[in-house]
Structure 1
Amino acid sequence: MIESAFPILEVSDVRAALAFYRDAFGGVVTYEFPGEDGAPVYVSLAVGSSSLGIGLAEEPPAPGNMLLWFYVDDVDRMTRELEAAGASVVEEPLDQPWGERTSLVTDPFGTRIRLGAAIAPPPEEE
């Protein structure tokens, strides 16, 4: 039985990744493990009601097939804030047919981040 699960991003610079996810998403550090030089080699962040781990990669990480999905209160505003924090916008905010507004960005390390928010359903045709 699985009690919980969370993603761990493997990055080449934990401090830079921490600054991005803590500052851009309002994350709160809940755990930090320092390396021999005192710099963090692993941190856990509380981001909303979710947990995100950031760990130092043994070898240079290559962007993989991971996608992080964050539900936010304002996709347009958050997309602009992440862009200002160093993210690259891949897909501008767009209303989707399933009733959400989404955008897609990549963090400074190439990790894809999908932002989403529910939108009001279209009025039914009479």
Structure 2
Amino acid sequence: MKLASLRIITKDIKQTVQFYEKAMELTAQWFTEDFAELKTSSITIAVGSTRTMKMFGGEHLIEPKGSTGTIIEFLVSDVDEEYEKIKTLTHHIVQEPTTMPWGNRSLLFCDPNGNLINFFTPVSAEAIQKFS
């Protein structure tokens, strides 16, 4: 089994895609006005409008309100540098860059839909080895 993508369902697809384009420094590929993807070498972030849920059998299968039980995590080369960019994109900074007990320096913030996003950089010897 292979994880193919993470899909975010949103009422405002343009705002969400623009946020991720700036945060990830990528250009999204739009397939329809209701569906776009941003691809890296390790993950695809798919963004669909709430209208796409009709294709899965019902428009009201979910009510997108963000998630506090799931964190979308990105390994970045310099979390402090990324923080300077992110703080211009969102006012929803949950935690400024902080070194965690497990050896990652972490920045936690929310996307426009309230989803938790973690940008992290390994800084301890053990964490650096784990991600090298």
TM range (shorter): 0.7 to 0.9
Structure 1 Cα separation of the partners of residues 15 and 39 of structure 2: 17
Q: CA deviation at 1:79?
A: 2.0
Q: Which has the higher helix share?
A: 2
Match of 1:42 in 2: 35
Q: Which has the higher strand share?
A: 1
Whether the 8 Å contact between 1:18 and 1:54 is mirrored in structure 2 is yes
How many residues of Structure 1 are paired with residues of Structure 2 in the alignment? 115
Unaligned runs of 5+ in 1: 35-39
Q: How does 1:50-61 map to 2 (within 5 A)?
A: 50-58=43-51, 61=64
For normalisation by structure 2, the TM-score amounts to: 0.76
TM-score by length of 1: 0.79
Deviations 1:76-104 (A, max 9, x none): 12123112012511011111221111121
1:54-73 matches, within 5 Å, as: 54-58=47-51, 61-64=64-67, 65-73=69-77
Cα drift, residue 74 of structure 1: 1.1
- Deviant stretches of 4+, over 3 Å: none
Offset at residue 116 of structure 1 (A):
0.8
RMSD: 2.0
Matches within 5 A, 1:1-126: 2-30=1-29, 32-34=30-32, 40-58=33-51, 61-64=64-67, 65-121=69-125
Q: Structure 1 CA distance, aligned partners of 2:65 and 2:49?
A: 13
- Please list every run of 5 or more consecutive structure 2 residues that lacks an aligned counterpart in the other structure: 52-59, 127-132
Secondary structure of the corresponding residue to residue 72 of structure 2: strand
